Amino acid sequence: MKFSELFCPTLREMPSEAETVSHQLLLRAGYIRKAGAGIYSYLPLAQRVLKKIEAIVREEMDRAGGQELLMPIIQPRELWEQSGRWDVYGDEMFRLLDRHQRYFALGPTHEEIITSLVNGDVHSYRDLPLLLYQIQNKYRDEIRPRFGLMRGREFIMKDLYSFDMDEAGLDVSYLKMYTAYNRIFQRLKLQYRVVEADSGAIGGNESHEFMVLADTGEDAIVFCEREDFASNVEKAACVYRDEGPHEDMREMQKIHTPGMRTIKDLVDFTGEPEQRHVKTLMYFADGQLVAVILRGDRELNEIKLKNVLGCNQLFMADDDSVRSACGAGFGSLGPVGMDIKIYADQEIAGLRNFTCGANEDDYHYINVNPGRDFLPEDYVDIRNAVEGDLCPVCGHPLKAARGIEVGHIFKLGTKYSQAMNATVLDKNGQSVHIVMGCYGIGISRTMAAAVEQNHDENGIIWPIPITPFQVIIIPINVKKQEQMEAALSLYNELQELGLEVLLDDRDERAGVKFKDADLIGIPLRIVIGPKALQENQVEMKKRWENEIYNIAIDQVAGTIMNILKEG
Ligand code: 9G3
């Protein structure tokens, strides 16, 4: 491809509305253009990257036994009513009317479509297992579309659905996908972790997220460097070991703490660190007021609390309810003398002589001790995991990171097949509900995540397996005929070898061309200058290094092939 013909509108300045580096660079390097909030055009370079990512995904889906199909984006309302989800997703679902005033959804996902399709044409155990997938646009009306392709309202997803006779079959399909996903992200040269996710509303009983590590990631994870334990902070179990021995219990005292409400106030007032103070939070769990206490430096994990309490509705109590129930407002609450059920984070059991509210405004207790001064309903794991917590597998201190979710796989069980009555006959002629799994990869999000993880101050550094072009040839001065001839001859030689080559034939200063080559992220750069011809040499530079190599022109092809083979 000749750069002078390539539609690649690079920008000199950093676009202001872009908040993350991948959004900035994909805009500046002429890969994407915004059509509307959360809606983008993929320009030719981006399309080449997407096609390479999709090709790797297809290869691994097919290797795992998947069969590619293509489902409709326009989805009849009836299917979503059958699954009971038409009213679940509210404003996030794009809805449209046809000429007969009938409602449709713009497909945010395809469980309903695929379950209905399979139900209609799969009748016997002999037809299973089945792994069906597509690569297609999805539509979700995000409240705050942001970070460019990372959280768009239209995005490209590969979604595969598995169909089995029973849970054992699902386990096999799930493992096939788990393995295929690891192969995909390894082939994409991405640093990632697989974390057990809180399957939340999807209703399956097991799910894993594939997280590309990046500081701009929206998800907080903890992971062990020693082995592959990793977990969403939402779900990470906290290991509590009572370190013992404990200091002697001192006499509890009530102290006047005028205007003190926060842990920080108490740290400043008592000089004791925040680990020596206990915060008390009040929640309505299915309408019942409960108290939750944690060490002052910890954060409550509401998902864990909800799972521990086994409640459906959980929300923080308002000040009035708290005041009428406890006799004091937030910041003056504590477990001593409280006649409301108290759930204590497991670490409280190991605390001694701590400070907490006295359930009286402007008063606190000091030297409070669990067991002696109050009895919690239970000691439970309800705090967020943090860096330094111990790995539940090997006890090694965990590392914290932020991740971009690029893949998510779920065991669905019979959630959709029951709702939509999708059955097959088993060996004994009995009708059984099909057991399903669903497996997504964000294709466009993966491209952005690759940039988040592979860039420097000059621009993108594409991993070789997904780069839009493998080599860029830059003649220093296109007006020098001998330089252009050498460039064209090398360009043709490399193309005949099947390499993807960009020839920067623009009549621009060399510096501009070098900057553009770095910005768009082409892994290998070949410069043809006056020296080249005198000494029959060219300069080669790898985008991920600073080293410049002088190579004889007739060695270039071989050298490049070797570098690309290493990938
Ligand atoms: C909706 C809307 C948004 C949604 C969903 C439905 C997320 C929805 C969960 C999934 C689960 C898996 C198959 C591929 C991998 C993910 N956001 N989810 O079901 F109507 Cl508006 O999509 N689906």
Report whether pLDDT(203) > 60: no
Whether residue 202 is found in the same domain as residue 321:
no
For the stretch 172-198, pLDDT in tens is 999 999 999 999 999 999 999 998 765
Interval between CA 190 and ligand 1 midpoint (Å): 24
Q: Measured between alpha carbons, how far is residue 180 from residues 41, 60, 160, 231, 347 in Å?
A: 29, 6, 12, 20, 40
Helices 21-28 and 443-453 meet at what angle, rounded to 10? 100
CATH classification of the domain holding 47: 3.30.930.10
- Does residue 489 lie in a domain region? yes
In this predicted structure, what is the pLDDT of residue 204?
A: 44
In this predicted structure, what is the pLDDT of residue 198?
A: 58
- Does residue 242 lie in a domain region? no
Whether residue 325 is found in the same domain as residue 207:
no
Whether residue 20 is found in the same domain as residue 147:
yes
Whether residue 131 is found in the same domain as residue 272:
no
Atom of ligand 1 nearest to the CA of 141: 21
Whether residue 523 is found in the same domain as residue 445:
no
Interval between CA 147 and ligand 1 midpoint (Å): 20
Interval between CA 89 and ligand 1 midpoint (Å): 9
Mean pLDDT in residue range 317-342: 94
pLDDT category at 201 given cuts 50, 70, 90 is very low
Whether residue 61 is found in the same domain as residue 154:
yes
CATH classification of the domain holding 344: 3.90.960.10
253-256, strands of its sheet edge to edge: 253-256, 363-368, 354-360
Percent helix, strand and coil across the chain, each to the nearest 5:
30, 30, 40
- Does residue 509 lie in a domain region? yes
- Count up the domains in the chain and report the number: 3
pLDDT category at 232 given cuts 50, 70, 90 is confident
Interval between CA 109 and ligand 1 midpoint (Å): 5
Whether residue 43 is found in the same domain as residue 152:
yes
User: Tokens 């959709």 — which residue?
Assistant: 416
- Does residue 462 lie in a domain region? no
Mean pLDDT in residue range 496-503: 98
Report whether pLDDT(200) > 60: no
Domain with 191 in it? 3-237+400-452
Whether residue 76 is found in the same domain as residue 154:
yes
Helices 167-187 and 44-63 meet at what angle, rounded to 10? 140
- Residue whose CA lies nearest to ligand 1 atom number 19: 109
- Residue whose CA lies nearest to ligand 1 atom number 15: 440
Whether residue 209 is found in the same domain as residue 331:
no
- pTM of the entire structure? 0.87
Tokens in use for 111? Answer: 């469980």
- Does residue 392 lie in a domain region? no
Whether residue 79 is found in the same domain as residue 179:
yes
Q: Measured between alpha carbons, how far is residue 152 from residues 23, 49, 270, 371, 558 in Å?
A: 11, 18, 49, 51, 42
For the stretch 427-469, pLDDT in tens is 999 999 999 999 999 999 999 999 999 999 999 999 999 999 9
For ligand 1, residues with CB inside 6 Å are 89, 92-93, 108-109, 140, 159, 202, 408, 410, 438, 440
- Residue whose CA lies nearest to ligand 1 atom number 10: 109
For the stretch 245-287, pLDDT in tens is 889 999 999 999 999 999 999 999 999 999 999 999 999 999 9
CATH classification of the domain holding 485: 3.40.50.800
- Does residue 322 lie in a domain region? yes
- Does residue 395 lie in a domain region? no
User: Tokens 């990631």 — which residue?
Assistant: 217
Number of alpha carbons in the 13 Å side-chain half-sphere of residue 166: 5
Give the span between the Cα atoms of 214 and 467, in whole angstroms.
20
Interval between CA 23 and ligand 1 midpoint (Å): 24
Instruction: Give the residue from 277, 313, 147, 130 showing the smallest Cα distance to 214.
Output: 147
In this predicted structure, what is the pLDDT of residue 450?
A: 98
- Does residue 140 lie in a domain region? yes
C-alpha angle with apex 501: 496 to 507, nearest 5 degrees?
125
Whether residue 374 is found in the same domain as residue 414:
no
Whether residue 268 is found in the same domain as residue 189:
no
